[in-house]
Structure 1
């Protein structure tokens, strides 16, 4: 288990602070993660990588000369928000465009894609390469569905080397895509991992047994077996990866980089024993082993597990793999002199600017801030319940994620309202903060919903019931754009009835309080009814049968939030009558 921490909610932030303090010669802290503290030639491509924290040395440990220009670092096992990715990319780019590269997980895809759109709108050219090396996560016919695990290093290394050589964004993207196409990984786990402050691990493996194909967040493996000897494990890993070779690769005479990765608790000495057999088996198969890596490269806190990656080289990839690199966690070749950035750049910070709203909108902004404070209090009251519900078929982090997001939104909304922002701006800033702090899919969804609310509400006048109705509908459309539909057992199952009832009651002439009350009741009933549904979206989809009989955590949290806003509306009405 993870033993050393202060407040578990602050763990990721404090980890980044300590990492930067220990590596100031290579990295600096920026909003959303880290960037190089050394200069890069103008006009070169910036490789920006990222993902959830808890996998060190991925991702911050791979920022430096010959590797990444910056890394967006989300909360523990949660994708960085679109705002984090955008901020890191802007701090890292230097005129040659940005290549975003990351493991292929739903939350990361949503947030990195949103960041790519924001960067494009800002006039920065962007390309994306998702790493899909884990052969256990989808069949060869559906490579686009595969996860990214320790094969990240292969893609990042060659892309970073190509960028350092001054190649164009298109050229850097092409070699990164080819590296991904020629990389395969497969892993096993002997025990689960525990997040800071957790009483129980995220998953367990029976004593003396081994989960085959387990993901780096505890995603279910494809089978289970007795723990083998080191040589037997090496044979299992090598045999599996040799059954699926990249197009055009013939093992006999082919150059291959083996990467034996420890997931957190397997000691280096054990890895070396396994690697001895791995290299022998590859050599016996006719492969030519080139510059292997053995150690912790993509971890999962204290998970006991091992993965093997095979990166099949061609001449160009071999040159880029061998090129010099100097990052906190990965160094290759001779030292390269680097110039430190000016002090004002290293210490630069950002505060979201606020344009004052009208007097009417400022008054509404204070109401919005009160409502968001009520949402935070409600989530705090139900955080354990939401975690228990989510743990049935997910990873149990919904409550924590919602708590982080609502807390950040509350702080940001209060600050923006105090600085004279209008209601629309307060909602937009709160959405940014929610998405930024919560990370993951739910963070992206709530960020988009609040941004849509704010866009319609605006900063000019006090919103009437019709405007609120239009804003809620815009928020619903923003959430539906993520792909879920009613019946998928998601937040959408409560959101759509809420939107429909609110619209119908306001159109019928009800005041906002009456209409919101009816809509909140509909959302609560719909959320409870999700207990009967089989999940068809999200991580719970693969554990569908486990979720029947339990409502969806996202739908339940949405219902709680509508009730919290209702309580604020009641308070305001009573205050006006008092």
Structure 2
């Protein structure tokens, strides 16, 4: 179990603080994560990685010369927000464009895609390569659905080495995709990991059994089997991986391969080397040529008892990049030519907290929005247990606490912006980023998207007229659907959001004022959220346990309805009939 912590909710932040304090030669802290502490040549492609905390040395430990330029660090096992990814990328890029590369998980895809859109909107060239090396998570015909595990390292290393050589963004992307195509991984676990402050592991494996094909968060694997000997484990992993060779490697005989034996947290180096002894024998017996193997911890899962094997099949181009030097807190290869440290005083000159000027009308609207966010916080504080109970029926039970964290952070950011004289648009955008940063997960990302879209439509120059609110709500709806990929009927927040947006627009079109239109829309959302009880989930973590949720409303739709009702009460008091 995870034994050493202070406030469990601050664990990821305190980890990051200590990590930077211990590695100031190679990394420095920025909003949302870490970037290199050494200067990067102008025009070099910035390789940005990231994901949830709890997987060290992924992801911050892989930032430094020859490897990543920056890493966005989410909460424990939670994707970094779009704002965090954007902030890290902005801090790291030097004019050559940005490559975002990370494991293929729904929350990460949503947030990194949103950050990519923001970067592109500012004229920064940005591309994405998701890692999909885990053969247990989908079949060969659905490789794009596979999750990324310890094979992340191969893609990160190749992309970064190519960037270090001065290659352009398109070439860095090509090589990262090639590395991903030639990487295969498989993992096993003997026991689950325990989140800081939790009373029990995230999952359990029966005594004397081993889960085969488990993911790095405990996602279901292929099967359970008796705990093998070290040699038997090597034979299981190598045998399965050799049955799926990548295109361009017709046979292992004569092929060059990098084996990476990865400990997931509690399986220690001595055990790994016993296993690797047999891994090497098996690969050599198959005729493969082993090139600079790695044994250790490269993508962990807190204290999970388990291990994974990655096989990275090289060609001439990939081999040269794999052998290139790197110097990071957790991964070193060869000898780099040390770069100069960045000038921190110059970096600190940018005033992130400044707010743009706003009209008197927009600042007056910001007061109402701040009050609405306060009401949302109060509502979610009262509903946190109920939302967690609803989510636990078919999900992981964290919706209530996630929404509570997001609302509190959003309100705090809004209050700070209001005190600085922010208009309605800036206040909502700052609240959106703070909400997404603290809430984590898919719901946090979607609320960040929604509030940002509303803020962008309201702006700071014009009064918050009813038409701007309707446009903003419509943009929020479109953004949530675009990034979340859910439709009405999938049993998600979208089932309440779409009727809310449609009813709001229709009521205003019929001549109702904003307060009355909002009331009608909130009533529509409440009824739609209740109706999700009759649906089976087709998206998100509840989908694998769909039948369990029948008869229970979707927690995301339910929390959305609670929020818009609370906002309606504030509008009624502030604007009147």
TM over 0.5: yes
Matches of residues 134-533 of structure 1 in structure 2 within 5 Å? Answer: 134-249=134-249, 250-334=251-335, 336-345=337-346, 347=348, 350-482=351-483, 483-533=485-535
Q: Distance in 1 between matches of 2:240 and 2:366?
A: 58
TM-score in terms of structure 1 length: 0.95
Query: Once superposed, what is the RMSD of the aligned Cα atoms?
Result: 2.0
Query: Are 2:522 and 2:565, in contact at CA under 8 Å, matched by a contact in 1?
Result: yes
Q: Distance in 2 between matches of 1:390 and 1:210?
A: 28
Query: Are 1:30 and 1:349, in contact at CA under 8 Å, matched by a contact in 2?
Result: no
Q: Which runs of 5+ in 1 are unaligned?
A: none
Distance 1:391 1:215, change over 3 A: farther
Partner of 2:78: 78
Query: Are 1:357 and 1:420, in contact at CA under 8 Å, matched by a contact in 2?
Result: yes
Distance 1:345 1:268, change over 3 A: farther
For the residue of structure 1 that corresponds to 2:3, the secondary structure is coil
Query: Are 2:361 and 2:464, in contact at CA under 8 Å, matched by a contact in 1?
Result: no
Q: Distance in 2 between matches of 1:59 and 1:224?
A: 29
The C-alpha deviation readout for 1:368-412, integer Å capped at 9, x for no partner, is 001111112222222233233223333333223222221221111
Distance 1:422 1:335, change over 3 A: closer
Q: Which runs of 5+ in 2 are unaligned?
A: none
Q: Distance in 1 between matches of 2:69 and 2:194?
A: 30
Query: Are 2:65 and 2:336, in contact at CA under 8 Å, matched by a contact in 1?
Result: no
| CA apart distance, 1:237 | 0.8
Q: Distance in 1 between matches of 2:315 and 2:176?
A: 13
Query: Are 2:100 and 2:129, in contact at CA under 8 Å, matched by a contact in 1?
Result: yes
| CA apart distance, 1:466 | 4.6
Q: Distance in 1 between matches of 2:128 and 2:480?
A: 23
The C-alpha deviation readout for 1:83-109, integer Å capped at 9, x for no partner, is 211211121122322221111112222
For the residue of structure 2 that corresponds to 1:260, the secondary structure is strand
| CA apart distance, 1:352 | 4.1
Distance 1:549 1:261, change over 3 A: farther
For the residue of structure 2 that corresponds to 1:353, the secondary structure is coil
| CA apart distance, 1:365 | 0.6
Query: Are 1:423 and 1:454, in contact at CA under 8 Å, matched by a contact in 2?
Result: yes
Q: Distance in 2 between matches of 1:499 and 1:166?
A: 48
Distance 1:172 1:457, change over 3 A: closer
2:537 is aligned with 1:535: yes
Greater CA deviation, 119-128 or 464-473?
464-473
Greater CA deviation, 389-398 or 248-257?
389-398
Greater CA deviation, 334-343 or 128-137?
334-343
Distance 1:546 1:231, change over 3 A: farther
Q: Distance in 1 between matches of 2:92 and 2:8?
A: 29
| CA apart distance, 1:349 | 6.1
Partner of 1:107: 107
State which of 557, 560, 575 in structure 1 corresponds to 2:559: 557
Partner of 1:91: 91
| Number of equivalent positions | 575
Q: Distance in 1 between matches of 2:569 and 2:437?
A: 26
For the residue of structure 2 that corresponds to 1:392, the secondary structure is helix
| CA apart distance, 1:188 | 1.3
4+ residue segments displaced more than 6 Å:
none
Query: Are 1:157 and 1:320, in contact at CA under 8 Å, matched by a contact in 2?
Result: yes
The C-alpha deviation readout for 1:50-76, integer Å capped at 9, x for no partner, is 111111100000001110111111122
Query: Are 1:495 and 1:523, in contact at CA under 8 Å, matched by a contact in 2?
Result: yes
| CA apart distance, 1:489 | 0.6
Q: Distance in 1 between matches of 2:222 and 2:528?
A: 34
Distance 1:197 1:164, change over 3 A: same
Query: Are 1:202 and 1:395, in contact at CA under 8 Å, matched by a contact in 2?
Result: no
Q: Distance in 2 between matches of 1:178 and 1:430?
A: 39
Greater CA deviation, 25-34 or 80-89?
80-89
Matches of residues 11-160 of structure 1 in structure 2 within 5 Å? Answer: 11-160=11-160
Partner of 1:566: 568
| CA apart distance, 1:286 | 1.5
Q: Distance in 1 between matches of 2:461 and 2:96?
A: 39
Greater CA deviation, 455-464 or 145-154?
455-464
Distance 1:350 1:211, change over 3 A: farther
Q: Distance in 1 between matches of 2:361 and 2:45?
A: 46
Greater CA deviation, 135-144 or 86-95?
86-95
| CA apart distance, 1:358 | 1.9
Q: Distance in 2 between matches of 1:99 and 1:54?
A: 23
TM-score in terms of structure 2 length: 0.95
Distance 1:359 1:219, change over 3 A: same
